[in-house]
Structure formats: C-alpha cells, structure tokens
Amino acid sequence: MFFKFAGDLLHLVREYKVVTLAAGLAVTVPVFVWLVRSRKADPVPEIPLACPDQMHWFLGHAPLMQDMLNGLHKICVEESKVDGLSKFKLVGLTAVSVLKAEHVKAVLNASNYRQRIPLLAKHMDMFLGRRALVQLMKDEWKVMRKIMARAFNWEFLKETVVDIGEVTNVFIKALSAKNGQVCDFWPLMKCITLDVIGKSSFGYDFSCSATLKSSPVAVAFEWMLEDSMIRQFKKTMDPRCWFYSYPSDANKKHAECAAIIRQTLADIISTRTAMRSDKGGPQHKDILKYMLDAHEEEKVAADTDTLVDNLITILFGGFDTSSITLTYALYMLTQHRDVEQRVVDEVASVLGKDGQPTYDILMNQLPYCTAVINEVLRLYPPAPVTVRTLEEPLDLQVCTGRGGPAGDAGGAERTVTIPAGTMMYIPIWWIHRSPHNFPDNPDEFDPDRFYSPERAAKIHRFAHVAFSGGPRDCVGRRFAMLEAVGVLALLARSFRFEAVEGYR
C-alpha cells in the first residue's frame, strides 16, 4: 500500500513538473502552478474575460462547470461578446470558446491535440485507461486512430446490422410482457445498447435485453463513470480523490468495479487470441477481430492493456451515449405525435410488418428516421462539449458588430489571432442551439430541417458536431447512426409510447 501511495504522489509531482515534494504538497503544488500561469500576459486581450466576479482564485471558472449545461451557457453564450467568442480560465489555463460554425470548423481542423489538465486527466486515466484512443495525443494517437478506423470498416458495419436487429427483437419480445406498464426507459435502452456493443465489439452476449436487467459489467461501468465526474468536477480539490490508493470507501469501490470490467474484457481477449491461433475454429467478425487484424498488418504490438483500454472506450461510446440518444428520441415521439406517425409510416412502407433492417435500408431507405435521430442529436448531444489545444496560432475572422447570438448582423470584419497553447472550448450543446447556426427556431424539435433537401443544404457542416469534427471526429459515428436508426425503426413499429404526465 505504501508503494502505491508513493507512486500516486510521484505521478502528481511528475504531472506538475515539480522537483521537490514538500509536506504541504496538496496545497503548494496547485498554488505554485497557478502563480506561474497567472503571471503570464493575457494571450487574447481582444476578447473580454467572462464574468470575472465569479472566478475562483485557483480553479478559475471551473466551479461554474459543476452545473455543466447552465455553466456553459453562462460562460460561452451569455458572455460571448465578440461574434460568438468567449474567454475564461480553467486552473490557470486560458480558454476560448466558439459558437459559430465557421469558427468551429477552423478550430477542429486546426488541431487534434488536447493538453492534459493534471487534476482532471488522472481521473480519466483511471476510468478509461492511459492507452485509450481518447486519451492519446500526437503520434500515439495517429497510430491508434488508424487501427481503430480500420476496425470500423464497411464489412464490420454490415455484420453489425444483424446484431442490431437480433438484439432489438429479443428486447421487443421481453418488453411486450410489460405492455401498459410504466417503465424508466433510459435503463431499458441501456439493455439494448450494451447487448449490441457486446456482440458487435467482442462477440459477448450480456443478455440484458432478454431479462431487461443490467449486467455486473454495466453496473460497474456506470458507477465508475459517475465517480469520475464527481472527482473531476465536484470534488476537484479533495486530496482523497487524487490518490486512488487512499483507503476510502469510494476508492475501494473503484478498485472493485475496475477489476470486474477489466478482468471480463481481459478474459474475452485471451479467449479470442487463442481462437485466432486455431485457424480452423470459429472467427467472429467484430471490432476486436478487426483491431487484432489491424495491429498485425500495421506491425503494432497488441498488448492486453491497450486492447482493454480501447474496448472500454468503445463500451462507453456504444453503451452510454447511444442509450441517451435513443431515450430522447422515444421521448420526442411522445411529445410530437405527427413525427411519430411519419416514422411509423416510413418504417411500414420499407420494412412492412416483419421485415428486418439491412445495411442498405438503414443507410439509404429510412431518411425520415435518420432525420429524427439527427435532430435529437442536435438538441440533445450526449457529449455536450469537446476541447482542443492549439499547437499553432489560429486566425479567426470576426465581425465587430456582432456580439452574442442576438447581436447586430452588421459590422466590419477583423482578425483575432488565438496564440498557440490556448485551450479551445467547443460547447456542442449550445453550438447546436445557437441562432448563429440555426436561425429558424433553434430550440424547437423539427426533423424536417434535416429531411428537407433544401433546408438540409443550408446547414453548415460544422453547425452539427454531435460526433465532433475534423481529424479527431468520432471513429464510431457510422456505427452509432446505424444503431440509433435501426433500433428506433423497430421499436416504433412495435410499440406506441406515452410519457408519464408531468415528466420532462
């Protein structure tokens, strides 16, 4: 235990580049970092600092982010006084946020790098793993991104449509037994998405859809996700949250949950590696297979820890975020019966009473269902924000006559140069609801904005960034859309949902 604790201390020291360890480490290190950074000149004086009277002396505007959506609105929307740009502080770092689609495009295409904030990054390492794609940067990221992109290939996507149909049909049969009952649908959607990602990613059947109950892996994963958010944003300054070897109840629970997830995945990898050695044995056409293929073809060692880290990341994207999208989609159908009827009519015309989705059907023959999912992702993106760190200066063209979203459309253009090293915030939730990008009723649910060819053509590619954009966009975006459209179509054909009165 002592050596683990010492390792935690050394990790923190190394991250902050502090040479000596004082008795008051938990206080002196953060203060030292803050003092050094706060002495630097304002890197972007053209943009006013957001709500300076609400800054924490060390954390900056981070406390406002505890209420993520409202905090982002306060900082990134209400304080966007220069053509959708806003400036704020996070633990001594200067951050600039953007709202306009053309600025979003410039930022996402300019950099695929994210500077680590030690107080926060440690927790993501402990949750997803240090070798996960989303944690890697620069050359390491490029190598792993290439491997993951090859895993999400066309052949895999065709195979996974079969998994989507089979899992959803099992779910429909189980849910039919509860016809007329009141159910919390987010946990139920997680049953589908966990089974789909289990089968399509590593050939594992969690059997949640048949029982409508979560699995030990899912329970452990959800606990770790919530714990990571608490450590990052609610107990940022609590030293007991920094040192995972400290014998607290939360740390003990974290170790138990991590062991459940990692051991399950490690056992699957071990079994599959042995199966690959048996050329005559069964071979699954899933992400794990294609990852192992890509590792071999790229001559990159596929150690178990790296594979586990990236399977956990896929689990996170395919299980949690997809279930959020489907839950919102079903809720919106209960609030917009005209939309629901158009979905039902389209599915009936394409699939009939018993037809099953194929890759071509989901990609090309259900345009209205696809528009519904796109509009749900616009209003309710599962990831409300993403971040980049500029490696080179970036010039943004701004209109001096425009402030926030309701600002004057006129004014002269000028260039604002954002220096290298600046953290760029992409508040996806509010970009999607900004009149800068969606001038016609941006807060209203309107799938026709994506269904109508004329209206869809007017939407800037970077006005809708639910899957991020640029070189570091979501590698599983096509998989996520196939799953969401397929599950929505089959559920809408089988059931009519009602929201409990007063539920929002």
**One pLDDT digit (tens) per residue for the chain, 504 residues:** 445 545 555 554 554 444 334 434 554 555 455 445 555 678 888 999 999 999 888 888 888 888 889 999 999 999 998 899 999 998 778 999 999 999 999 999 999 999 887 778 889 999 999 999 999 999 999 999 999 999 999 999 999 999 999 999 999 999 999 877 888 999 999 999 999 999 999 888 999 999 999 999 989 999 999 999 899 888 877 888 889 998 999 999 999 999 999 999 999 999 888 887 766 556 678 999 999 999 888 888 888 999 999 999 998 888 889 999 999 999 999 999 999 999 999 999 999 999 999 999 999 999 999 999 999 999 999 999 999 999 999 999 998 754 444 344 456 789 999 999 999 999 999 999 999 999 999 999 999 999 999 999 999 999 999 999 999 999 999 999 999 999 999 999 999 999 988 776
CA distance 169 to 175: 10
The label of the residue with tokens 């440690």 reads: 122
Helix (H) / strand (E) containing 424: strand 423-426
pLDDT in the model for residue 398: 94
47 with 416: CB under 8 angstroms? yes
Do residues 357 and 489 make contact, with C-beta atoms less than 8 angstroms apart?
yes
> Residue 239: its pLDDT value, please?
82
pLDDT at 408: 46
What's the pLDDT score for residue 326?
97
User: DSSP per residue over 362-419, as a string?
Assistant: IIII-HHHHHHHHHHHHHS-SS--EEEE-SS-EEEEEETT--STTS-S---EEEEEEP
pTM (2 d.p.): 0.90
Give me the pLDDT at residue 397, please: 94
- The per-residue pLDDT for 17 is 45
Q: How buried is residue 408: exposed, middle or buried, by Cβ count under 10 Å (0-12/13-18/19+)?
A: exposed
CA distance 464 to 433: 10
CA distance 414 to 402: 12
Q: For the purposes of burial, counting CB atoms within 10 Å of the CB of 364, is it exposed (0-12), middle (13-18) or buried (19 or more)? A: exposed
| Contact in structure between 49 and 376 (CB atoms under 8 Å) | no
Q: CA 185 → CA 43, 190, 323, distances in Å?
A: 47, 9, 9
Would you give the DSSP letter of residue 116? -
Residue written as tokens 């259900």? 366
3 state SS of 93: strand
Q: Which long-range contacts (CB under 8 A, 24 or more apart) does 454-463 make?
A: 460/101, 460/102, 460/105, 461/101, 461/105, 462/101, 462/102, 462/104, 462/105, 462/108, 463/101, 463/104, 463/431, 463/432, 463/437, 463/438
Per the structure block, which two tokens stand in for 371?
């528009």
Q: Which pLDDT does position 119 carry in this prediction?
A: 74
Report the distance separating Cα 303 and Cα 349, nearest Å: 48
End-to-end distance of the chain based on CA atoms, in angstroms? 47
Neighbours of 394 (CB within 10 A): 21
User: Which pLDDT score is estimated for 165?
Assistant: 97
Phi first, then psi: give them for residue 424, nearest 5 degrees.
-105, 125
Amino acid found at 364: N
> How many residues does this entry show for the chain?
504
Q: Which amino acid is at 26?
A: A
Please give the backbone phi and psi of residue 191, each rounded to the nearest 5 degrees, phi first. -60, -45
Name 29's Cβ contacts closer than 8 Å, sequence gap at least 6.
12, 13, 16, 18
What pLDDT score was predicted for residue 401?
Answer: 59
> Which of 500, 478, 499, 481 lies closest to 489 in space, CA to CA?
481
Q: What is the pLDDT, as a whole number, of residue 276?
A: 77
- In this prediction, residue 173 carries a pLDDT of 96
